[in-house]
Every structure is written in C-alpha cells, then in structure tokens.
Amino acid sequence: MNSKFPRLFLILLGLIFILNVIQSALTPLIFDEAYYWHYAQNLSWGYFDHPPLVALMVKLSGFLFEGELGVRFVSCLLSTGMFAIIWMSIDHPKKRDYVPHFFVLLFSMALLNAYGFFTLPDTPLLFFTAFFLYTYKRFLEQNNWLWGLFLGITMAGLMYSKYHAALVIFFVLFSNIKLVTNKYAWLGVLVALFCYTPHFIWLFENDFVTIKYHLFDRPNDPYNFTKYTLGFFVNLIAVFGLTFPWVYQSLFKTKSTDRLTKALLFLTYGIILFFFVSSFNRRIQTQWIIVITVPLAILTFKQIIANAKIRKWIYITGIINGVLILYLRVGLIYEPISPIYYETHGNKEWISGIQEKIGDMPVVFENSYRNAPMYAFYSGVPTFSLNNFMYRRNQYSIDNSESTLQHQKVLYVSKRATGADMELPKGDGKMYYGQFIDNFESYRKLKTLVEEPISLNTEKEQTFRVYNPYDENISLDKIKFNIAYLNPTKDVVDRFALKAIPAESQTKQLISKDTVAFKFKFPKPNMDNATYFRIGISENDLLYGINGTNTKFE
C-alpha cells in the first residue's frame, strides 16, 4: 500500500473522506437524493429514469447508518476510491513530489466535490469511469483473461450507473480499433453483457419504459443558441471553475504518445464533440459532461509535473476554487451564509409544519416526484406523486406506491388554490395548497393504446383501447377521457374533453387484466402545428393523467 500511496497522500485522502462523511451527515437531502431514496425502498433491476446502482448505494448506506448519512455513506466511499484509482492510473516517476497539487486539482472541481457526498447516479459513474480507465491501463500492460474479466465488470458498473456511460466505453474502445481482434477484449464485452442481462430483462418486462421516455417522450424546447450551444460552452468552463484555462491548455498540449493517453484524448474530445453536436438539439446539462473530469485530471496532473507555469497557476486558482467550494459547502448546511436559497434549505421545516397540522395522515402531491419522496423521508408517512397531463411520468407511475394510499383519507397538495382547505407556504417563496380527500382513489396505471396510423384530417371514427392492469374491474362511471395535442417539441398546447364510447355498447366496466375498445372523433385543435396527440383518463374527477404515449399523426 505505502509503495503506491505516499503517507501524505493517505493523510489528505483520509481528511477528505472525513470531511465528506461529516458533510453527508449534516446536509439535508436534495430532491434527487430523496427520489433515489424512494427507489431504494423497493430494490429492482431498473427504475423509470435510471439504471439501479444508485438505489443499491442508498440501500447499502441505510444498512449502516440512519438519516442523511444512511443515504450517502457509500458515495463517500466511492469518491474516496475514485481519488485513489486516478492516482494509480498516473505513471510518472515524480508524481510523489506533487501530492498537494494532485489534491488541489481534484478538490477544485466543483462537481467532483459535490459527488463526493451527494448520492446521485453521477457518483458511481465517476467512480467506474476511473476504475474502467485504470482497468484498461492494466489490460494494455497484461493482455490476459483476468484483466479482460475486470474490463467487463467495470463496463457493467458503468452501465448500471447511467445510460450515457456507453459513450465512455465506446470512445475508449474506439481509440484502439485493434481490439476487435483481441479475444480478451471480447471476453470483457461478453462479461459486461452477462452482468447487464438482469437490467435488459427488466427493460423488456417494463415495456422499455426508460428508453421510450428518454428517446421519445421527453419534451424539448425549440433550438435557442444562447440556451443550448452557448450554454454548453459555459458548462465546459463551469466544470473546472477558475482552473479551466490551464486544464484545457493541458489537454491541447498533450500528444498521443501511447495507447492509454490516446484513449484519454479520445474520451475527452469524443464527449465534448458528442455533446457539442447534441447542443443543436437540446440543452446540455452540466452533469452530462462530468466524465471528462476523470481523463482531464490524469492529463492535467501530468502537465503539472512537467510544466512549471501550469503547475503554478493550477495551484493558485485551484486553492481559490477550493476555498469558494468549502464556503458553499458550509452554506448547504447553514443557510444564513449561503448566497442563494438552495434545495437543501427549508424542506425539513416545511414538512414539520405540515405534519403538525395533519399528523401521520398520508399525503398525495400533485405533479411532484421531488416533494413526495422528500416528505416521506422526513415524515415517515406514505406519499404519492399523482402525475397529470401538465407534468411527466416518473417512478411513481410504475411502482406500487399508488396502492398504499387507496381508499384512505389524504391531504392532497398542489399549487392550485381551488377547493383548498389550507395554505402551505414554503421558504423558497412558493405557495402550496392542501385539500382533504376522504376516500382517495386513483387509477394512474390505466393505459390508452393507439394501434393504427392516425390522421387528424378525417371525419371518420377512430379507435383506441384501454388496458386495465389492476386486479379489480373499474366502472366506466368513474372515468372520463381527454385528448391533448402536442407541438413538434412535444409540449401540450391544446387539450379537450373527449367523447369516447365503448365499441361494444353493453360494456359497463374495464375488466381486470383486459382491454376495452372505444370509438371517438378528433376534436378540431386550435393550433396549426399539431404533431402528436395523447389520450388521458380522469378518475373520480381528478385531473387527467398521462395514460398514453405521444402518438404522431400521419
């Protein structure tokens, strides 16, 4: 151990680990973490938005600790491991002389800092990116079945972290095209596919819901240069903060002298180019490009050792970055010094205030996969996000949380004041309203299915089917339909009540585990560019749900 890790390295690494553990225990959850905590209440091989590794991390943390640390402890371990693996990936005889510079460089990267204690899918993504690159390095040095096996395991770890990890695998392997004839590389691919098979099966059993959502159902705004492409370049700077000129200078100065360096360059330039092209179609979020921090940490540290000017300026700007980051980290815990109202602030107090009024009554949140799990985490009572046509589907659309609240008295929380029994102001200035429902009953898993090409410009009757996945029959008296018209970017623009009658007139209910056909005619939309439509269902006069997929007109 000591031959690979100098004593100073281990001391600094230990201090960072302790800092992250303390931060984890004292910082209230952010909304995404609460959502992944909700994942972890029912472990599965997949979830609506992401692969399952983030949920497993939460579950393992919960076995060891309670509260926020019971969500984040594994993240602390993985981020510490990532630092160590990046260090081991650097071959340079003088690297032990620059241990402080190494830590200044990595600690100065804001998102690497954040993922050192927040539990998000990017945390294992960064760990397995580093582990994959180290494994690939050893694979190049010792081309045998053992490192081929590890290559496959790390590729599976990447893909269980986040779907766009496929880019990491692709660009690294593409940098060495001769691997197509390497039997041990193929062993790695087969091992990865074998390890990933349970998730493939989950996707198949769940009608590829995750893939459909990310590729087809997500709304996307019209192209905006400032928001999309210019925003992408801003993100490239924001990832590194004040050190960005010297980090990118290090990238430009690096030459492809060996296969590992070539892989690091392919990965960095490949990710940047891929998301640059993507920026002409959608807004690129900062965390999507976070994986470039791992190869750039390796390349930049080598330049720190070799180039005195880069070493000087990385050290100075990195320390400034680090101090600012530490200040912001304290602000996550202690709101008075924070320059902004962040999502770690105020949630515990808001939830406590609601619970003082209603006790342990279950709560249904309208259109909020953020507030629902946050409330459940801090209150310990069942919650549900009732998603309607003004929102999007999420994990609450496919798991069993709906069933836990059926036929109970609930507080229904929304941003609509109509019919409200109480006001629920939040510290961020947003106003919510609560309404009591004595006998809550929802059927958000009903599916509307359109199975034939549809033309809007027709007077003919059209047909759709409704599938009832529940174990009970549902009376048609409890439901009604609407139709939403969407523009080319999949934003709902027009919506109308839809008069639909059963194809068989004697039908009075939706039979359990069966489908019923309905006939209808399209209401004429007010919009000129109706490109998609979606049929929704309202049960017991709740707002219409998202029961169908976005179907494109012929």
pLDDT in tens, 502-538: 999 889 999 999 999 999 988 888 888 899 999 999 9
Let me know whether 239 and 309 are in one domain: yes
Q: What is the pLDDT confidence band of residue 428, given thresholds at 50, 70 and 90?
A: confident
> What integer pLDDT is reported at residue 238 of this predicted model?
95
Q: Is residue 403 part of a domain?
A: yes
Beta bridge partners of 386: 366
Instruction: For residues 188 and 299, state if they share a domain.
Output: yes
How far is 371 from 433, CA to CA, in rounded Å? 13
- Band (219; pLDDT cuts 50, 70, 90): low
Give yes or no: residues 99 and 156 share one domain: yes
Q: Is 342 part of any domain?
A: no
> What is the model's pLDDT at position 393?
93
pLDDT level of residue 550 (50, 70, 90 thresholds): confident
- According to DSSP, the β-strands at 431-437 and 447-449 are unpaired
- Residue 453 reports pLDDT greater than 80: no
Question: Which residue, of 335, 365, 390, is where some domain finishes?
Answer: 335
Does residue 458 register a pLDDT over 80?
Answer: no
Report pLDDT for 519: 93
Question: CA 121 to CA 75: how far, in whole Å?
Answer: 10
Can you give the pLDDT at residue 457? 74
Chosen domain end from 304, 335, 366 = 335
Whole-angstrom distance, CA of residue 517 vs CA of residue 466: 6
- Residue 3 confidence (pLDDT): 62
Domain shared by 128 and 228, yes or no: yes
Q: Is residue 1 part of a domain?
A: no
What average pLDDT does the segment 330-336 reach?
94
Q: How much is the pLDDT for 489?
A: 84
Note whether 423 and 510 are same-domain residues.
no
Kindly report the three-state secondary structure assignment for every residue of 187-221: HHHHHHHHHHHHHHHHHHHCCCHHHHHHHHHCCCC
Q: Strand 462-468 vs strand 514-520: parallel, antiparallel, or unpaired? A: antiparallel
Name the domain count of the chain: 3
SS3 422: strand
Strand pairing class (431-437; 410-414): antiparallel
Query: Has residue 104 been placed in a domain?
Result: yes
d(CA 282, CA 296): 25
Per the structure, the complete domain to which residue 511 belongs is given by 447-552
With a threshold of 0.85, does the pTM exceed it? yes
Read off the DSSP letter of residue 478. Answer: G
| Domain assignment of residue 471, yes or no | yes
- The pLDDT of 150-161, averaged and rounded, is 98
- Same structural domain, 176 and 249: yes
Q: Please indicate, yes or no, if residue 67 is contained in any of the structural domains.
A: yes
Residues 272-318: tens digit of each pLDDT: 999 999 999 888 999 999 999 999 999 999 999 999 999 999 999 99
Q: By CB neighbour count within 10 A (0-12 exposed, 13-18 middle, 19+ buried), where does 170 fall?
A: middle
pLDDT, tens digit, 9 for 90 and up, residues 168-205? 999 999 999 999 999 999 999 999 999 999 999 999 99
Span 373-420, pLDDT tens digits: 999 999 999 999 999 988 989 999 999 999 999 999 999 999 999 889
**One domain, residues 215 and 303:** yes
Q: Sign of dihedral through CA atoms 27, 33, 35, 38?
A: negative
- The residue-averaged pLDDT of 457-465 equals 85
**Residue 190 falls inside a structural domain:** yes
Count how many residues are written for the chain: 554
Do 170 and 87 fall into the same domain? yes
Q: Which of 335, 363, 390 marks a domain boundary?
A: 335
Same domain for 374 and 507?
A: no
What is the token pair recorded at 209? 């819901």
Residue 150 located in a structural domain: yes
327/463 same-domain check: no
User: Is there a single domain that holds both residue 331 and residue 451?
Assistant: no
pLDDT for 2: 45
Residue 454's pLDDT is what? 78
What's the mean per-residue pLDDT of the chain?
Answer: 94
Q: Provide the residue type at 430 as one letter.
A: K
* Dist CA 50 CA 52 (whole Å): 6
Closest by CA position to 74, among listed 111, 47, 37: 37
Q: Is the pLDDT of residue 84 over 70?
A: yes
Query: Which CATH number covers residue 477?
Result: 2.60.40
pLDDT at 221 over 90: no
Q: How is residue 260 written in tokens?
A: 């590992």
pLDDT of residue 104: 98
Give the span between the Cα atoms of 199 and 159, in whole angstroms. Answer: 10
DSSP 3-state of 108? coil
- Say yes or no: 452 and 433 in one domain: no
